[in-house]
A = this chain, B = another copy of it.
Amino acid sequence: MKRIGILTAGGDCPGLNAVIRVVGKAAHQGGLEVVGVEDGYLGLCEGRMRVLGPEDLSGILTRGGTILGSNNKTDPAACRVREGDRVVVKDLRDEIVARCRDMGIEVMVVIGGDGTMAGAASLCQRGLPIVGVPKTIDNDLWSTDITFGHDTAVTTAAEALDKVHDTASAHHRVLVVELMGRHAGWIALSAGVASGADVILIPEIPFRMEAVAEKCLQRNAHGKRFTVISVGEGAIPVGGQEFVDRVDPDSPDPIRLGGVGRFVAQEVERLTGLEARSIVLGHVQRGGTPTPRDRMLATEFGHHAFELLQAGQWNRLVVQREGRTGSVPIEEVAGKVRTVPVDHPLIRAARGIGTSFGD
């Protein structure tokens, strides 16, 4: 082998540069050339690539973002391409495979999430050997117990909860922090337990506003005149439609205008008379210097990807299960979400000390 490629696709995630660094450095040590693709599949479609030298890989271990750029909208099977005046949607997979072959790229390391891996699998089938490295701050990727970036996101989220905790206790308020996690509640659960949130609401456990309100009142009655609520953005009340209706009945897109965090704060005020505030932490969770743990995990995953690549074990995705790093066929992860089991030890522990899940 002489030349390998590498690309990052999907939403931003701390640790991407750590993976690029270890794959690139290991390749250089092994006498291989490394080609970095810009902006995920978009750059692959458009042929924007550059050779990465040692100086490109230096000093990036601690940096958030990705030196290659990313893009979370492109499917190689349905690329939006400009043709003259018009934008047309085209299947560029054969073209991509041919271009990589022309450039001498023998294997492509693809770092991305669920959607990215679906695209990778389809490129594999057409002849571009691929090794996948899983990436999601949400930690909801099927087949791996943990992914890099998640620990950093949880840390950012827990620090925000710690901070509003001060304010909530000083002002006797209910403070709701809406965290990322559309399909799975890992961030809201982890940060909530880490920060001692009084109520944790996650997509896996539909909540009743009455139970949430009761918890706030009950704390008040016990002299704890504040409540901190950690809520995943995908959490929904029992009877979801009611939620949509209440947020803003006249709006064409009520959830976007409000979000579940705001809904919970408004409903707490309505049901209890207590003062409530909400914040949406948003993209802050995707950035920042990765935690040491995420840098280690990204380094381990990236190196395992390189070992697979050297061993000719293509079309596989690096995973960690039961504490061991290994791999599974890329196809295995498509279209599945790893949600939080409702009897997860952290949920049991939180319930054990009186934390409410709104059910």
Q: Residues of A at under 8 Å CB distance from B? A: 8, 11-12, 14, 16, 21-22, 25-26, 29, 39, 58, 61-66, 69-72, 145, 151, 154-160, 162-167, 169-172, 175, 190-191, 193-196, 224, 250, 257, 277, 279-284, 286-288, 291-293, 295-296, 299-300, 302-304, 306-307, 321-325, 345-346, 348-350, 352-354
The answer on a CB contact under 8 Å between B352 and A284 is no
Chain A interface mostly: helix
Q: Are B292 and A191 in contact (CB under 8 A)?
A: yes
Pick 20 A–B contacts, CB within 8 A, sort by A: A21-B196, A25-B352, A26-B352, A62-B195, A65-B169, A69-B170, A155-B293, A157-B292, A160-B284, A163-B287, A163-B288, A165-B287, A166-B288, A167-B283, A193-B299, A194-B295, A195-B292, A300-B346, A303-B352, A306-B352
Please give, as numbers and ranges, the residues of chain B lying within 8 Å of A155 by CB-CB distance.
Answer: 291-293
Q: Is B283 touching A280 in the complex (CB atoms < 8 A)? A: no
Contact of A304 among B65, B286, B288, B345 (CB under 8 A): B345
**Least Cβ distance of A115 to chain B in Å?**
15
Residues on the B chain within 8 Å of A323, using CB: 145, 321-323
The answer on a CB contact under 8 Å between B352 and A296 is no
Q: For the complex, give the distance between the alpha carbons of A345 and B25 in Å.
A: 16
- Contact of B286 with A167 in the complex, beta carbons under 8 Å: yes
CB-CB under 8 A from A158, the residues of chain B are: 292, 295
Distance (whole angstroms) from the CB of A113 to the closest CB of chain B: 14
Q: Are A29 and B296 in contact (CB under 8 A)?
A: no
Residues B62 and A162 in contact, CB atoms below 8 Å apart: yes
Q: When the two chains form their complex, are residues B72 and A171 in contact, meaning their CB atoms are under 8 A apart?
A: yes
The docked-state distance in angstroms from the alpha carbon of A283 to that of B295 is 23
Most buried by B among A282, A304, A324: A282
A161–chain B nearest beta-carbon distance, Å: 9
Residue of B nearest to A262 (CB): B257
Is B63 a contact partner of A353 (Cβ separation < 8 A)? no
Across the interface, do B286 and A163 meet the contact criterion of CB distance under 8 Å? yes
**Smallest Cβ distance from A163 to chain B, in angstroms?**
3
A284-B160, A354-B25 are known contacts. Are A349 and B172 too (CB-CB below 8 A)? no
Complex alpha-carbon distance, A307 and B351, angstroms:
13
The 10 A-B pairs of least Cβ separation, nearest first, read A163-B287, A64-B166, A303-B349, A194-B292, A65-B166, A166-B287, A279-B282, A25-B353, A322-B322, A158-B292
15 more A-B residue pairs beyond the given contacts A194-B299, A195-B295, with a C-beta to C-beta distance below 8 A: A22-B352, A69-B170, A69-B171, A71-B171, A160-B284, A163-B287, A164-B287, A166-B287, A166-B288, A193-B296, A194-B292, A277-B282, A277-B283, A280-B282, A306-B352
